[in-house]
A and B are shown apart, each in its own frame.
Chain A
Amino acid sequence: MYTEKVMDHFQNPRNMGEVENPDGVGEVGNPQCGDVMRITIKVDDEERIEDVKFKTLGCGAAIATSSMVTELAKGKSLDEAQEISKKVVADALGGLPPQKMHCSNLASDGLRKAIEDYRSRHPVK
């Protein structure tokens, strides 16, 4: 059902955990749906994502997409990271089963929320 890449990220997730003293936090999903993701980011002086970590409750796809989104986002500028879409994440994993595209592919939303949280705390002067 899942690609090898999905299974790899599911079994060996990258960047799992929480960034200490995060500059932005994004939480999406709902335990009643079986999926909750929490993305924490550390942003450097040039507004690049210096560090990003995830914690996820959910199925294999939910965990793999969370892991992949952190890998894609690390080192990117906030503007670039904001452009990471569900499709980009799914493609990077070699595809997801259709029923998993929406329900369990919320990691990019979580990342965007973390970036918004950072921006709300650091308004443009």
Chain B
Amino acid sequence: MDSAIFLDNAATSRTDPEVVSAMAPWLGDNFGSPATLYAFGSQAKIAIEEARQHLADLIGADPKEIFFTSGATESNNWALKGVADALEGKGRHIITDKAEHHSILMPLRYLEKKGWEVTFLPVDGDGLVDPDAVRNAIRGDTVLVSIVHANHEIGTIQPIAEIGAITREKGVTFHVNAAQTVGHVPVDVAALGCDLLSLSGHKFYGPKGAGALYARRGVRITPLLHGGSQERKRRAGTHNVPGIVGLGKAAELARKNIDAEVERLTGLRDYIFDSIEKNMEDIRINGHRTRRLPNNVNFSIEGIEGESIMLSLSYPTTENARPVYISTGSACVSGSLEPSHILLALGLPAELAHGSVRISMAKEDTREDIDYALSALAAVAERLRSMSPVYKRGNKQCAAGAQGDGCDCEAAS
């Protein structure tokens, strides 16, 4: 990893060395459980309560409203299934949108099988949810609205505060998956107007396996994990002390640097957009240009396929000595025959979704790294296009953006 340029931070990020140091004692001699009453365990109790305070400070919550989990997938599952269970008597209708993360869509499909009705709202060409569409979709039996804060793939930031005002007015519980925003942009639960909010440590330089669910005081939610009385009987299981301490440290560090990092990364992000628009032909920027995560860039390169781009960049050659790690919405990496459901929800034809590239930056990335990555990317795109039987320069398919008919691979094989 020494010379590598890691631009896949929306997937996971490098654990900050300060976080690692903070965690170390709790992986070693301080192995006591915070649930025990003797002094040895109570040190751990103090440590996790400190972490809870840091996390609460980061998102403007009361520490009593923070519940530690194993990460955003657990928090999302808990929020959706827990509210559905608690409010079943009131109604069985849930609202979300088509461009959500799988850790939202899959629990909701599960609930559909169990008899809940779910409305999947469309998003516009930039990936935005229309707050009026949320208002219009709310019915007498609607118990929950779940909308992501910022999309993990295209970076579009949703009008959460506007939606929160509507759910508050209608008396519907509002969950926000903030896995991509907490620690990256200022997040304030009161300003967002949400009742529940999911977050994950490893997305902002904390450890994997540690996250949290914010649950506003008074919100009705059934536990996902039943057992011991940890987390005030809301989430059972012995605390992941090293993970929680690391999460708290990551929150503390994020809070210190957030404004400067937002400004710096927004500058780099816009520099990338300007640079690719100037230097690469036949590309299409995916997601909203400005209402967007500071560290996210996503675009489609016409006439080539994402896995081959990703693979070429990750293997150094004589011309490109430094491996560059990025991500793609191509079907080849999804393990299915379909490309990213998020890019399709924007109305992109399948071929442009296959050719999509996501660059997600981190705090250590410099302008020099970005320039290196962009020139490597341009060279790879040129090489793959020279191999492509379909790419014709200036074809303007990217501009047209017609809806594709879906994949017919089964028939072809």
Measured CB to CB, the residues of A under 8 A from B are 2, 7, 10-11, 13, 16, 27-38, 55-63, 99-100, 102-104, 106
Flag B298-339 by CB within 8 Å of A: 1 or 0 each: 000001111110011001010000000000001110010101
Determine whether the beta carbon of A11 is less than 8 Å from that of B331: no
Seen from chain B, the residues whose Cβ lies within 8 Å of a Cβ on chain A are: 303-308, 311-312, 315, 317, 330-332, 335, 337, 339, 349-351, 354, 386-391, 404-409, 412-413
Cβ contact within 8 Å between B404 and A63: no
Q: Inter-chain contact count A-B, CB under 8 Å?
A: 101
Closest-by-CB residue of B relative to A105 is: B413
Using CB atoms, name the residue of chain B closest to A57: B388
Do B390 and A31 have beta carbons less than 8 Å apart?
Answer: yes
Contacts A27-B389, A38-B389, A60-B308; A106 near B412 (Cβ below 8 A)? yes
On whether A32 and B351 interact (CB within 8 A), knowing A57-B305, A62-B305, the answer reads yes
Q: Report yes or no: B308 in contact with A59, Cβ–Cβ below 8 A.
A: yes
B389 to A32, Cβ gap below 8 A?
no
Shortest Cβ gap from A56 to chain B (Å): 6
A sample of 15 more A-B contacts (CB under 8 A), given A30-B407, A60-B311, A103-B331, is: A11-B317, A16-B386, A27-B389, A31-B351, A32-B405, A33-B409, A33-B412, A34-B332, A35-B305, A36-B388, A55-B387, A56-B389, A57-B389, A102-B413, A106-B413
Q: Indicate if the CB atoms of B389 and A37 lie closer than 8 Å.
A: yes
**Shortest 6 CB-CB contacts between residues of A and residues of B:** A34-B354, A102-B413, A38-B389, A59-B307, A55-B389, A59-B332
Determine the distance from Cα of A11 to Cα of B312 in the docked complex, in whole angstroms: 7
Q: Report whether A29 and B412 are in contact in the complex, using a CB–CB cutoff of 8 Å.
A: yes
User: Does B308 lie within 8 Å of A10, measured CB to CB?
Assistant: yes
